[in-house]
Amino acid sequence: MIRILPNSKLTKEALHQIYQTSPYGIGGHFLIVLIFGFLFLDILPTPILIVYLGIHILILLLRTYTVWKYNKIKPDIDNTDILQRSYYYYILGVFATGLTWGLSFLLFHYDVPTEYSFFVYAILVGLAGAGIVTIGNILSIYLAFMLPMLGTFAVWSFFQESKLNMVATVLLLGMMIFYYFTARRYSLHFAKAVKEKENAIKAKYEIIQRLSTASELKDNETGMHITRMSQYAYLLALECGLRSSMAQDILYASAMHDVGKIGIPDHILLKEAKLNDEEWAIMQNHTYIGKKLLEGSETALIKLSESIAYTHHEKYDGTGYPRGLKGDDIPIGGRITAICDVFDALVSKRPYKEGWTNDDAFSFIQEKAGIYFDPELVVHFINIKPKIVEFQRTHQD
């Protein structure tokens, strides 16, 4: 892969931020193309308009393709290489955009009346300013968009036989230098801010993973159970229409669903026979213990973890515990986790039971729709059956 930028290797968080804002840049690009084409429809020769519109359509298609590609692979949140490869194509589109804007100036000046010249200058300079703030990696956008555009403008001005154009050339060169150092400084701050944010996010996830591991050490359930059911919860959250950031939070928060078992005595937690009524009452306290361990945080992810730990044993018909919540009164995280936790528990082999077949477990989930589980979520869960089976195949105990 050819790198057209000196420092285009970005962190995963930076890449996500870039692609999340890129549709606005593409929309603005498209709008400006239409405005230019409409204003100069009767002024420029037809061949020039065709070339202008044709080049921009190709660039817009390239930029749109990269954003579409990103949205397609976005669920693979840990594959930074894929994101980085898409970013190269995105920057290539931005570079072509900047170069074309510069060349467009020459095309427009070919036969633009004097009274329109100032308008063209203002638009070009405005685009330069807009280009530098469209996405977070400011230096890359400067090098890819503003430099070729303003450079083309400066070269053209230099060869004009006019003192005014010579002054314009000097001003343009000055703008290029000023924008470069401004963009470089802003990019350093951006990179630092992104790194700090990533460290904070990693710290949250690491704490959750360690607490999940601590609960596993006291339980008969294996680490693969936690991995599988949390991945199922993530896939189900995406399938039922939750935004990707919420689905990712559910991925990590659902892993904490049984953290309260840390407080359950071993003779009950590890008992292989059926629990008596008194022992079962104590076991049910793990939801309350989980809530107490996690409550009081101002972090959205920990709040979600608290909610899931407290409500994942509630049942849709109100017969669950600890509060007997019913229907949509059960938080969405708890409803999602309930389905995924029960499914994986059913198909998993334990010292006190054999694992069910997948078909039997899916049938049970469907039978309990509207009783134990949210019926709409059950439909979505069945829809992602192939993904669940595939992930299960590659993550056995």
Name the residue ranges covered by the structural domains of the chain: 12-196, 218-394
Helix (H, G, I), strand (E, B) or coil at 110: coil
What's the CA gap between 33 and 373, in Å, rounded?
Answer: 51
Tens of pLDDT, residue by residue, the chain (397 residues): 233 333 444 555 555 656 666 666 677 667 766 776 676 676 666 776 777 677 767 767 776 776 776 666 554 445 556 556 666 666 666 666 666 666 666 665 555 555 455 555 555 555 555 544 444 455 665 666 666 666 766 776 677 666 666 676 777 777 777 767 776 676 666 666 666 766 766 776 777 777 776 666 666 555 688 889 999 999 999 999 998 888 988 998 998 898 898 888 888 888 877 889 999 999 999 999 999 988 988 888 889 999 999 999 999 999 999 999 999 999 999 999 999 999 999 998 877 778 899 999 999 999 999 999 999 999 999 999 999 999 999 888 6
Euclidean distance between the first and the last CA atom of the chain, given in angstroms as a whole number: 39
Q: How far, CA to CA in Å, does 331 sit from each of 130, 304, 305, 337, 367?
A: 42, 9, 11, 10, 22
Q: Answer for the pair 358, 347: CB distance below 8 angstroms, yes or no.
A: yes
Q: Phi/psi of residue 109, each to 5°?
A: -75, -15
Which residues are CB-neighbours of 246 under 8 A, at least 6 positions away?
A: 237
pLDDT score at 285: 94
Instruction: Give the DSSP per-residue string, 271-286.
Output: --SPP-HHHHHHHHTH
The SS3 of residue 350 is strand
Q: Is 132 helix (H, G, I), strand (E, B) or coil?
A: coil
Please tell me the predicted confidence (pLDDT) of residue 359: 95
- Which helix (H) or strand (E) segment holds residue 383: the answer is helix 375-383
CA distance 51 to 63: 19
Asked whether 15 and 134 are in contact (CB, 8 A), the reply is no
| Helix, strand, coil share (%) of the chain residues, nearest 5 | 75, 0, 25
Task: Write the burial class of residue 210 (CB in 10 Å: 0-12 exposed, 13-18 middle, 19+ buried).
Answer: exposed
Q: Are 242 and 263 in contact (CB under 8 A)?
A: no
Residue 83 zone, left/alpha/beta (φ > 0; ψ -120 to 50; rest):
alpha
Nearest to 75 by CA among 251, 229, 195, 228: 251
Neighbours of 299 (CB within 10 A): 12
| pTM (2 d.p.) | 0.58
* Count of CA atoms in the C-beta half-sphere (13 A) of 80: 8
Provide long-range contacts, Cβ within 8 A and 24+ apart, for 22-31.
22/63, 22/66, 22/67, 22/70, 22/90, 22/134, 22/135, 23/67, 24/134, 25/63, 25/134, 25/135, 26/60, 26/63, 26/64, 26/67, 28/130, 28/134, 29/56, 29/59, 29/60, 29/63, 29/97, 30/60
CATH class of 218-394: mainly alpha
Give the integer Cα–Cα distance in Å for 1 and 4.
9
Residue 97 C-beta-side C-alpha neighbours within 13 Å: 32
> What pLDDT is attached to residue 135?
45
Contact call for residues 299 and 204 (beta carbons, < 8 A):
yes
> How far is the C-alpha of 118 from the C-alpha of 270, rounded, in Å?
80
> Could you give the C-alpha distances from 255 to 96, 337, 356, in angstroms and in order?
45, 9, 22
Q: How far apart are CA 108 and CA 99, in angstroms?
A: 14
